[in-house]
A and B are shown apart, each in its own frame.
Chain A
Amino acid sequence: MSPAELQSKTAHPVLAIENLVTEIRSVRGLIRPVDGVSMSFPAGKIVGVVGESGSGKSMTAFSIMQLFPTSAARVAGGRVLLGETDLIGRSPEQMRAIRGSRIGMIFQDPTSFLNPVLTIGRQIEQQLEAHRWTGGPPAGDRGQSYANRVSELLTSVGLPRDVSTRYPHQLSGGQCQRVGIASALACDPDLIIADEPTTALDVTIQAQILRLMMRLQRERAVALMLITHDLGVVAEVCDYVYVMYAGRIVEEGDVRSLFAAPQHPYTRALMSGVLSLTGTGNIGFAVPGSVPDLAAPPSGCRFHPRCPHAMPRCSQEAPPLFDRPSGRSACWLHDEATP
């Protein structure tokens, strides 16, 4: 891709979500794991979504794809714009055509998403067939062009070509995750959603996979949404980051400035819990308590019961995202009207 093409591709967000609300019906009432979230994913950038379990980061991804782990979940409001089209309200058939072709996915457990009884090559070919992939040379045998595409993909993720004839159980976890990346790239997607792609891997393998993702994402100028709980991974690979807490974005910003000067008390608490490889001494300030129960979330700012700076206002009103030099942060401390 030429620099000019790269430039034009990075100008607009490939995918934008606006005020997204997702609800799950449960015996304990309606739960909102995603509550008014807006994010934007520009081409050629790696955008991190970081948070603890129950923060809504994975549910945000499920909502984009409208592929929920439970039938009790549904998108209750907001928009998901892929280019100009709103994905909310699309039929299941239309969504099926988009998932796996315009939006690629990489999952946490690389061994469980592969079909154990099909060869690797056959699985990727099926994906190309299902989406009627036409990226190959115009003339010639369709089957041959699929086979060529598979070996091209496997080579690009650093696997030998003969992996296409093997079965998932014959591969290591790291190799399976490389296949996962190849499959996510298969139909030249605009956006790749990677949900904890390296959490199940050993550190040396994690390093290989992260490097591979960085290289491919840059070469192809694809937008990458990287969901992780690991601030180290964010700092190493992301350009921009959203910090989520209890279904809402508490802070967002450019990675360098956000790590240099975290604005939200929750982000600061998270960072103080990070153990650096060079430091010793006492483990930093740990936030008391744990992530709230979403069936009965705290009023106002959802972090206020654990926040060292909580004021009366924090329990009454949810703070909006205030503009900060590093990005935006949802905390009443930033409001000039706050006494």
Chain B
Amino acid sequence: MSGTYETKHAETGSAPTPLIEVTGLHKQFASGGRFRRSRRSVHAVDDLAIRIHAGETFALVGESGCGKSTTARLMLSLQQPTSGDIRYKGTPLSMMSEAERRDYRRRVQVVFQDSNSSLNPRKRLGTILTTALTVSGAVADARRAVARAHELMEDVGLSPSASFFDRYPHELSGGQRQRVGIARALAPEPELIIADEPVSALDISVRAQILQLLQRIQRERSVAYLFISHDLSVVRWVAHRVGVMYLGRLVETGPVESVFTRPVHPYTEVLINATPVADPERAQLRHVHVVSGDVPSTTERPSGCPFHPRCPLAVETCRSEVPELLPVGEAHAAACLRATERVEGLRLP
């Protein structure tokens, strides 16, 4: 989704106020049994800081339980953070007036992974979209909403819109349903769309169509995406910048090109190595270092660097010291105690 974002930055020179700025975000959940003794707390998001600029795609990647979906829910204010700040154009969410909050909820929309369960099965597509338009206040009256819903359907490739308007979600294919989900997210004219695994449930040919659609929408409307995915190859293609999460913490962040070609955090490299390559000549699984062990549960978070029990480069200090996210290159940062050695060429065994 290159183009709009880079050119904008070139014009303005210095970095403008980010659309969304998250700082020191924490989210803890109580977990465990009904008895106090067995209660434990799950640190789902731990000291997260990210910035998303207008018109860019920022991707969060990581394995299950790393906190990427919790981050999405916090940013949608579907859940309240334990501590930390989410600023929208400089204003913290916690300081917003009712009216400002309503506007925030309108400008930040979401596309879910499972379009089957995120669309009301008893509502026709036309109704789903006109409701999104009127409730958000994007259109003034019902007649305008119907016309706008038709435009949105055509826009996302549900064409001719008249043949889709009165259908129910179950009458559509998975790809078509995801298009409805995107149209609904676009209805309130958002500035940021949080896309939580938007193509993970789709077949390969449909996935390409949906990714192309998301790219076109960004070009035309310069909307920003927070793209959440476990699939590095998708992220590589759609994102400008990427953040890699592990057990609730951001372990590496930077421009996609730089993070994918020069990963500093061992976990990032391990993730890249583990991703299957659709080229038998370069098949890598047989050769590269495959990390052992499971992703630990967030209730039993290791001390020090959360990745140290699985890290092939772990040293004694990794057990005790929690590494900070520090710059390792242009706009590229990593939270690894051996980051400097890594930049200087320390490789995985």
Contacts and interface: CB of A to CB of B under 8 A. Distances in A.
Contacts of B206: 290
Contacts of A288: 209
A207 interface: yes
Interface stretch (A15-23, A92-100, A271-279): A271-279
Given A204-B270, A279-B237, A229 B204 contact: yes
Interface in A169-209: 172, 174-175, 202-208
Most buried by B among A206, A231, A275, A290: A275
Interface in A277-292: 277-280, 282-288, 290-291
Interface in A229-245: 229-237
Interface in B187-225: 203-209, 211-212, 215
B316 interface: no
Interface stretch (B26-34, B136-144, B276-284): B276-284
A232 B278 CA distance: 4
B204 to A, nearest CB: 4
A275 B280 contact: no
Size class of the contact patch on chain B: 35 or more
B236 A211 contact: no
A255 B282 CA distance: 12
B285 interface: yes
A277 B275 contact: yes
B314 interface: no
A235 B205 contact: no
Contacts of B272: 277
A216 interface: no
B204 A259 contact: no
Contacts of A210: 276, 285
A207 B290 contact: yes
Given A204-B270, A204-B295, A259-B278, A270 B204 contact: yes
A53 interface: yes
B274 interface: yes
Nearest to B236: A277
Nearest to B234: A275
A284 B208 contact: yes
Given A235-B279, A275-B233, A280-B257, A214 B286 contact: yes
A307 interface: no
Interface in A290-306: 290-291
B278 A283 contact: no
A53 B116 CA distance: 16
Nearest to A209: B290
A11 to B, nearest CB: 24
Nearest to A212: B290
Contacts of A204: 63, 270-271, 274, 290-291, 295
A12 interface: no
Contacts of A273: 204-205, 207-208
A277 B236 CA distance: 6
A230 B294 CA distance: 22
A286 B294 contact: no
B23 to A, nearest CB: 28
Contacts of A259: 278-281
A257 to B, nearest CB: 9
A211 B287 CA distance: 10
A269 interface: yes
A109 interface: no
B168 interface: no
Interface of B: 2, 63-64, 173, 175-176, 203-209, 211-212, 215, 230, 232-234, 236-237, 256-257, 260, 270-281, 283-286, 290-292, 294-295
Given A203-B271, A271-B278, 5 more contacts: A204-B270, A204-B271, A207-B291, A233-B276, A290-B175
29 contacts: A172-B294, A203-B230, A203-B271, A204-B63, A204-B270, A204-B290, A204-B295, A207-B273, A207-B290, A208-B292, A229-B204, A232-B276, A236-B277, A236-B285, A256-B281, A273-B207, A275-B233, A276-B233, A277-B232, A277-B236, A277-B275, A279-B236, A280-B2, A284-B208, A286-B209, A287-B205, A290-B175, A290-B206, A291-B203
